[in-house]
């Protein structure tokens, strides 16, 4: 019985150690257990005694097994933090770079497919629109081209074709043609295409009655396609219609105008052995425009010295007609001969474009003063003038008019009743005649009203007050037409 207990205890200990111990517990083998009872084997015939010390040895063996199991618990406890750390790993798994890349790739492929489809549809509609216009069905062509622009908005080719289709559709669609062609010009970056678009714009402008815009557009087209025979022929034809002007009238460059004025003023002489003094003049130019429906205008101021008149300081008005510059008139005079008491001065009041009667109108207003002192008879002569020059297209031909808006004359004497005036006395005024008008443009006409001096008006000037269109002013007495 005792040996059986010992063996059972050894087996249990071995099993427990095998389950959870890193450190092996001492195992009592049956051989060793059997050797112990052999020493105290009782005499035969007597009952074996179970001695407590022998069984007490088994308890420590079982006690040693318990700490081994206790050590196993911390091993399991350490595993929990490992699982706890795994949770953040799962949380980070949502925005994996690979997943994000896939998410980006899928829409990109979808966009590429949609873009390719839009381009195919655009090309098909563009071709259909062109074919319709060539088949003399511009209305259908416009529909197809507008649909093409829904596939690729702002495409210069489709916009240009739309403008041409609208032009072919007739005057009702000229505004649409102008708008589409201008939009195409704004986005095109090809010289050949720009040349064609400028030509198209010229055709629309010419048939709309906007001759100046047509001329400018044809010239722009030739700048992108030099020598194009179709454009050149169209330009020459429209130039011939402008006020009887041809391409050879006027001057192509402002420098050429300056040269003519220098010759006219006599400031092109060189010094010589005979004692001639060299004279020369310079030109300064202020350019206005281009204004749609008119063109450009310029004020050219010529300054220097002249053999004939001493100092030169005059301002001229120029307008661009038929893509060439034409002299209108002198508007300002600041001439001074270099003598005390004699001088001229001018003031530019206005130089701008205004819309009158739905047409752009050049509006140039200058005032001029002259002082002439005659020391021989102690007399001062004063002269003042205010002149408005307006230029516009009348019956598709440019015209300029000079409108007198004021005049004043005064004569002052430095002596009175034969006695020289004391130095502390001002000159005595013996004559003062002055009259003036105001001119105000509106959307439809120009209104001229009397400002002062009704009693000094002559018969022609009395006809000026009223409201006039540009064409009506051409027939009003006192208004001076300027030939270009």
Q: Where among 73, 105, 131 does a domain terminate? A: 73
Residue 296 lies in a domain: yes
Nearest CA among 295, 288, 468, 467 for reference residue 393: 295
Residue 44 lies in a domain: yes
Q: Indicate if 345 and 427 belong to the same structural domain.
A: yes
CA 10 to chain centre: 100
Q: Indicate if 225 and 307 belong to the same structural domain.
A: no
Q: How far apart (Å, rounded) are the C-alpha atoms in residues 336 and 374?
A: 15
Q: Indicate if 150 and 287 belong to the same structural domain.
A: no
Residues ≥6 apart with Cβ < 8 Å to 160:
180, 181, 184, 188, 193, 196, 197, 200
Report DSSP state, residue 280.
-
Q: How far apart (Å, rounded) are the C-alpha atoms in residues 478 and 251?
A: 30
Nearest CA among 278, 318, 272 for reference residue 299: 318
Residue 24 lies in a domain: yes
Q: Indicate if 344 and 375 belong to the same structural domain.
A: yes
For 158, the domain range is: 115-241
Question: Is the Cβ–Cβ distance between 371 and 341 less than 8 Å?
Answer: yes
Structure tokens of 302? 């010529």
Residue 93 lies in a domain: no
- Find where tokens 């009704």 sit: 454
Q: How far apart (Å, rounded) are the C-alpha atoms in residues 232 and 110?
A: 50
Q: Indicate if 374 and 233 belong to the same structural domain.
A: no
Q: Indicate if 125 and 24 belong to the same structural domain.
A: no
Q: Is 21 helix (H, G, I), strand (E, B) or coil?
A: coil
Nearest CA among 273, 391, 268 for reference residue 327: 391
DSSP 207-261: HHT-HHHHHHHHHHHHHHSTT-HHHHHHHHHHHHHSTT--TTSSBSSHHHHHHHH
Which pLDDT value is given to residue 108?
63
Residue 167 lies in a domain: yes
Which pLDDT value is given to residue 422?
63
Question: Is the Cβ–Cβ distance between 142 and 170 less than 8 Å?
Answer: no
Q: How far apart (Å, rounded) are the C-alpha atoms in residues 435 and 464?
A: 12
Count other Cβ atoms within 10 Å, centred on residue 124.
14
Cis omega (within 30 of 0) for bond into 290: yes
Strand partners, 433: 409
Count other Cβ atoms within 10 Å, centred on residue 121.
15
Q: Indicate if 124 and 63 belong to the same structural domain.
A: no
Residues ≥6 apart with Cβ < 8 Å to 234:
199, 202, 203, 206, 218
Nearest CA among 316, 325, 330 for reference residue 249: 325
User: Could you give the C-alpha distances from 197 to 213, 235, 236, 348, in angstroms and in order?
Assistant: 13, 15, 19, 39
Strand partners, 283: 302
Which pLDDT value is given to residue 360?
86
Q: Which helix (H) or strand (E) holds 132?
A: helix 97-134
Which pLDDT value is given to residue 243?
47
Residue 84 lies in a domain: no
Question: Is the Cβ–Cβ distance between 351 and 332 less than 8 Å?
Answer: no
* Angle at the Cα of 475 from the Cα atoms of 469 and 479, rounded to 5 degrees: 90
Q: How far apart (Å, rounded) are the C-alpha atoms in residues 60 and 135?
A: 115
Which pLDDT value is given to residue 332?
92
Q: How far apart (Å, rounded) are the C-alpha atoms in residues 217 and 200?
A: 8
Q: Indicate if 286 and 427 belong to the same structural domain.
A: yes
Q: How does 456-482 read in b/e, with b if 16+ C-beta sit within 10 Å? A: ebeeebeebbeebebeebeeeebbeeb
Domain containing residue 131: CATH number: 1.25.40.10
Q: Indicate if 183 and 151 belong to the same structural domain.
A: yes
Residue 87 lies in a domain: no
The helix-helix angle for 229-241 and 191-208 (nearest 10°) equals 30
Q: Where among 58, 73, 88 does a domain terminate? A: 73
Nearest CA among 126, 190, 195, 133 for reference residue 158: 126
What's the number of domains the chain is made of? 3
CA 268 to chain centre: 44
The pLDDT profile of the chain, 484 residues, written as one tens digit per residue, is 444 554 445 545 555 454 444 444 444 444 444 444 444 444 444 444 444 444 444 444 443 434 444 343 443 434 444 343 434 444 444 445 444 444 444 556 666 777 788 888 899 999 999 999 999 999 999 999 999 999 899 999 999 999 999 999 999 999 999 999 999 999 998 888 998 999 999 999 889 888 777 877 887 888 788 778 888 888 878 876 654 444 444 566 788 888 888 877 777 665 545 555 567 888 999 998 877 667 789 999 998 887 666 678 899 999 887 667 888 999 998 877 666 778 889 999 999 999 887 788 999 999 999 888 876 667 788 889 999 999 987 666 678 999 999 999 888 776 655 666 666 666 666 678 889 999 999 888 999 999 999 988 888 788 899 999 888 998 898 898 887 7
Residue 319 lies in a domain: yes
Q: Indicate if 403 and 289 belong to the same structural domain.
A: yes
Q: Indicate if 157 and 306 belong to the same structural domain.
A: no
DSSP 447-476: EEEEEE-GGG--TTGGG--EEE-HHHHTTS
Q: Indicate if 315 and 409 belong to the same structural domain.
A: yes
Nearest CA among 244, 353, 226 for reference residue 295: 353
């Amino acid at each position: 019985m005792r040996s059986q207990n010992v063996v059972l205890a050894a087996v249990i200990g071995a099993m427990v150690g095998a389950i959870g111990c890193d450190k092996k517990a001492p195992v009592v083998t049956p051989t060793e257990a059997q050797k112990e009872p052999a020493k105290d084997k009782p005499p035969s015939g007597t009952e074996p005694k179970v001695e407590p010390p022998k069984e007490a040895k088994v308890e420590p063996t079982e006690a040693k097994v318990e700490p081994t199991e206790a050590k196993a618990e911390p091993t399991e406890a350490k595993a929990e933090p490992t699982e706890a750390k795994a949770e953040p790993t799962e949380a980070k798994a949502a925005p994996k770079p690979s997943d994000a890349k896939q998410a980006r790739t899928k829409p990109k492929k979808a966009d590429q497919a949609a873009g390719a489809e839009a381009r195919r549809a655009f090309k098909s509609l563009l071709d259909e629109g062109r074919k319709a216009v060539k088949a003399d069905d511009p209305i259908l062509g416009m529909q197809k081209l507008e649909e093409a622009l829904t596939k690729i908005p702002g495409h210069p080719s489709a916009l240009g074709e739309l403008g041409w289709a609208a032009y072919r559709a007739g005057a009702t669609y000229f505004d649409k043609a102008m708008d589409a062609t201008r939009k195409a010009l704004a986005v095109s970056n090809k010289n050949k295409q720009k040349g064609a678009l400028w030509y198209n714009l010229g055709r629309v402008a010419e048939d709309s009655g906007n001759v100046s815009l047509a001329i400018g557009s044809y010239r722009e087209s030739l700048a992108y396609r030099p020598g194009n025979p179709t454009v050149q022929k169209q330009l020459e034809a429209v130039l011939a219609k402008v006020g009887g002007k041809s391409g050879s009238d006027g001057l192509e460059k402002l420098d050429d105008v300056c040269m003519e004025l220098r010759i006219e003023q006599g400031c092109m002489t060189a010094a010589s052995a005979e004692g001639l003094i060299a004279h020369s003049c310079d030109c300064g130019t202020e350019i206005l425009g281009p204004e749609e429906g008119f063109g450009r205008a310029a004020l050219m101021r010529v300054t220097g010295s002249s053999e004939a008149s001493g100092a030169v300081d005059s301002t001229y008005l120029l307008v661009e007609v038929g893509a060439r510059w034409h002299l209108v008139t002198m508007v300002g005079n600041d001439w001074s001969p270099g003598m005390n008491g004699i001088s001229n001065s001018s003031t530019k009041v206005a130089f701008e474009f205004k819309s009158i009667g739905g047409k752009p109108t050049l509006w140039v207003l200058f005032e001029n003063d002259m002082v002439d002192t005659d020391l021989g008879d102690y007399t001062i002569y004063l002269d003042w003038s205010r002149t408005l020059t307006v230029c516009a297209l009348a019956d598709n031909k440019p015209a300029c008019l000079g409108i007198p808006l004021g005049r004043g004359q005064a004569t002052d004497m430095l002596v009175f009743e034969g006695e020289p005036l004391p130095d502390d006395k001002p000159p005595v005024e013996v004559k003062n005649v002055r009259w003036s008008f105001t001119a105000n443009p509106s959307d439809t006409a120009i209104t001229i009203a009397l400002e002062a001096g009704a009693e000094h008006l002559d018969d022609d000037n009395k006809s000026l007050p009223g409201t006039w269109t540009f064409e009506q002013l051409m027939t009003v007495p006192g208004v001076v037409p300027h030939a270009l």
